[in-house]
Amino acid sequence: MTDNMRDILVATTNPGKIKELRACLSAKVNWLNIADFGNIVEIEEDGDTFSENARKKATGYAKSTGLWTLADDSGLVVDALGGEPGVKSARFSGEKLTCKDRTLIDHRNIAMVLKLMKDAPEEKRAARFVCSLCLASPIKVLIETQGILEGRITMEEIGTNGFGYDPIFYLPHLKKTVAQLTPEEKNKISHRGKAIKNLEPLLKELLKNS
Ligand code: IMP
């Protein structure tokens, strides 16, 4: 800890997520990146729920680094597919995601959802993005929050912004897919934005008392 700033490790290698956290959370925090820790052992996301995965990563990395650690897990839940892709969102087409082929895998995952949903009528196309966040110290879970964005699965890809399933996730109230929103518009309404917003007051309170 330096100058009343609390060091918190963000358990992600995605620089976009750290940027998003910095932008959304005004609390006095020195955010650290997992890439700053050379040979840290990777923790597998093999839980059955988003919150289980976030908790597993936060507590695991907090124990191995001795730092408060914030972890997230997120994905797409489609009612007509019994909740799938769910925790398998990143690897729904069967391939493990690596940074290099992220766009290709995103397209294959989308193709898989569209194929499985091809005969689903309009009223059976409800879906949601879910994001679970967990902040843990090396000895216990400190905060858990969640954010949800409700929408519908389109029949085809529309829009080029964002990542993952954004081009097939339609927001009826905006008459656009998430891939047609600017990053600022997305952050304001997204599951991740909401989970971060829910975290902010709890984190401020925790920092006041620690
Ligand atoms: P993770 O939480 O970064 O592991 O995300 C898991 C997977 O869920 C991603 O690879 C995407 O396929 C999907 N996903 C999570 N959040 C979003 C989003 O905001 N838009 C589109 N897809 C998402």
pLDDT single digits (tens) 158-209? 999 999 999 999 999 999 999 999 988 998 999 999 999 999 999 989 988 8
Q: How many domains does the chain have?
A: 1
What whole-number distance in Å separates Cα of residue 12 and Cα of residue 72? 8
Q: Name the band, by pLDDT with cuts 50, 70 and 90, for residue 37.
A: confident
Q: Name the band, by pLDDT with cuts 50, 70 and 90, for residue 139.
A: very high
CA of 104 to the centre of ligand 1 (A): 14
Q: Which domain holds residue 13?
A: 6-209
Structure confidence at residue 42 (pLDDT):
86
Structure confidence at residue 96 (pLDDT):
66
Q: Is omega for the bond preceding 85 within 30 degrees of 0, making it cis? A: yes
Would you call 7 a catalytic residue per the annotation? no
Structure tokens that stand for 177 in this block: 């897919």
Residue 170 lies in a domain: yes
- What is the value of pTM for the model shown? 0.93
Structure confidence at residue 131 (pLDDT):
96
Q: Is the CB of 151 under 6 A from ligand 1?
A: no
Structure confidence at residue 102 (pLDDT):
76
| DSSP code string of 141-178 | EEEEEEEEEEEEE-SS----SSSTTGGGEEETTTTEEG
Residue 1 lies in a domain: no
pLDDT tens-place string over residues 164-177: 999 999 999 999 99
Residue 162 lies in a domain: yes
8 Å CB contact between 76 and 65: no
Q: What angle do CA 6, 66, 203 make, to 5 degrees?
A: 35
Q: Which of 186, 184, 148 is nearest to 166 (CA)?
A: 186
| DSSP code string of 104-144 | HHHHHHHHHHHHHTTT--GGG-EEEEEEEEEEE-SSSEEEE
Please pick, among 72, 73, 106, 166, the residue that the annotation labels catalytic. 73
Question: Hey, whose CA ends up nearest to atom 15 of ligand 1?
Answer: 75
Question: Hey, whose CA ends up nearest to atom 10 of ligand 1?
Answer: 90
CATH number of the domain bearing residue 103: 3.90.950.10
Question: Hey, whose CA ends up nearest to atom 5 of ligand 1?
Answer: 74
The DSSP 8-state label assigned to residue 190 in this structure reads: S
pLDDT tens-place string over residues 97-136: 565 677 888 999 999 999 999 999 999 999 999 999 999 9
Question: Hey, whose CA ends up nearest to atom 7 of ligand 1?
Answer: 90
Residue 111 lies in a domain: yes
Residue of 78, 106, 160, 163 to mutate, ligand 1, most atoms within 8 A of C-beta? 163
What whole-number distance in Å separates Cα of residue 63 and Cα of residue 37? 13
Q: Is the CB of 76 under 6 A from ligand 1?
A: yes
CA of 129 to the centre of ligand 1 (A): 8
SS3 content of the chain, % helix, strand, coil (to 5): 40, 25, 35
Q: Is the CB of 90 under 6 A from ligand 1?
A: yes
pLDDT tens-place string over residues 48-101: 999 999 999 999 999 999 999 999 999 999 999 999 999 999 999 986 656 567
Q: Is the pLDDT of residue 15 over 80?
A: no
